[in-house]
Structure 1
Amino acid sequence: MKNQDTYFLVKSLKKGDLKSFEKLYRMYYSKLHGFSNKFYSPTLQADDFVQQTFLKVWDEREHLKEDVLFDKQLYVICRNLILNNLKREKKMVSNQDFHLNSYEVIEENEEIFLKEELDKLNTGIEKLPKKRREIFLLHKRENLTYEEIAQYLFISTKTIANHIYLASNFLKEEFKKF
């Protein structure tokens, strides 16, 4: 089709003529698809860019320039859409990298926090009287029941319960100090 025919189609398109739009779409679809195929996007295909381009042409049809070749305007719109998309994708990838790095920092901070808490606990346990510390560790670290500890140390389960209670209260108070 001649440039003169395209000129009249663009002029009609600017007035909202859907038939002119359809003709221009059929005329330029394959050319624009070939152009879009030259760019790699992990999220969008060449068809997507072509569709977006023609949607933009329809939405912004009043701003088309009659004195500039339509195909030039079409390629510029398409190229800008592709470049904007590629910038967004690049930004998304860098944001994902940032979030991954943030998670690593959080994990490191959690490890430091847990180590500090464990150090506080061990310091508090060391301050317990010898027998209370032994009973507490047998129950909490070795997972022995009151009965098992009572049999092992030859004392009553009530005494075991009392020592565990007193040790727990002492350690709570120790944690409040930090």
Structure 2
Amino acid sequence: MSIVEEDKLINKLKNGCHQSFTNLFHLYAKKLYNFAYKYTESHAESEEIVQEVFLKIWNKKDSINPKLSFNAFVITIAKNLIFNKIKKEASRRQYRAQIASSEMITNETENNVIFADLAELANNKVESLPPKRKQIYLLRRDSGLSVKEIAAQLGIAESTVENQMNKAIKTLKSNLSNFS
């Protein structure tokens, strides 16, 4: 299409001619689509950008200057739309990352509180064990002594140490299983 013919279409568009608008759309749509696709790499987004460009052209038809390059006008609108979409997407990604980070912190804090409560409950249950059983349990847990070493230190049979450890663990499991 010659520049003279394009100028006539633009002047008719300024006066609200739908056919001129349609002709300009067919003249530039493919070029705009290819331009948008270079940036978006998405068929749907590229088609959407073409539609948005021509919607803006229709809405701004009164302010189009026929003496200026219509091609540059169309490309500028497309560029602005593409860059705005890119900025919005980057902003969305950053927002999602912040939300995920805050959820992780919230979960970590919540887990720490639950762990502290559970540890306190476990210590209270250990304190409520009968004195000899508590002593055997703490020697094993805190001091890391073997059954044989505990038996030798306390002057009792190894089977008694094992029996008391089993009872302590059973009591603690029973009391802590109700924690929720």
Q: Secondary structure at the match of 2:67?
A: coil
| Structure 1 counterpart of 2:71 | 71
What are the equivalent positions in structure 2 for 1:113-124 lying under 5 Å apart?
113-124=113-124
- CA shift, 1:40, in A, is 2.6
- Structure 1 gaps of 5+ residues are 144-178
| Structure 2 counterpart of 1:99 | 99
- Structure 2 gaps of 5+ residues are 132-167
CA separation in 2, counterparts of 1:117 and 1:75? 62
| Structure 2 counterpart of 1:3 | 3
Letter in 2 for 1:66: P
CA contact (8 A) 2:10 2:20 kept: yes
CA contact (8 A) 1:41 1:86 kept: no
Letter in 1 for 2:26: R
Give CA deviations for 1:22-75 in whole Å, capped at 9, x if unaligned: 011111112212212211356943222111111111122222222211111000
TM-score (norm 2): 0.66
Q: CA, structure 1 residues 42+121, in 2 after alignment: closer, same or farther (shift >3 Å)? A: farther
Number of equivalent positions:
142
Alignment partner of 2:175 out of 129, 140, 146: 140
Letter in 1 for 2:81: L
CA separation in 2, counterparts of 1:118 and 1:43? 54
What are the equivalent positions in structure 2 for 1:1-178 lying under 5 Å apart?
1-41=1-41, 44-125=44-125, 128=128, 130=130, 137=172, 140-141=175-176
CA separation in 2, counterparts of 1:138 and 1:37? 62
TM-score (norm 1): 0.67
Letter in 2 for 1:29: A
CA contact (8 A) 2:122 2:176 kept: no
Between the aligned residues of both structures, percent identity stands at: 24
RMSD (Å) for aligned C-alpha atoms = 2.8
CA separation in 2, counterparts of 1:4 and 1:64? 16
CA separation in 1, counterparts of 2:27 and 2:63? 20
Q: CA, structure 1 residues 137+35, in 2 after alignment: closer, same or farther (shift >3 Å)? A: closer
Letter in 2 for 1:114: I
CA contact (8 A) 1:21 1:58 kept: yes
CA separation in 1, counterparts of 2:177 and 2:29? 74
CA separation in 2, counterparts of 1:111 and 1:138? 20
CA separation in 1, counterparts of 2:93 and 2:117? 36
CA contact (8 A) 2:122 2:172 kept: no
CA separation in 1, counterparts of 2:177 and 2:119? 19
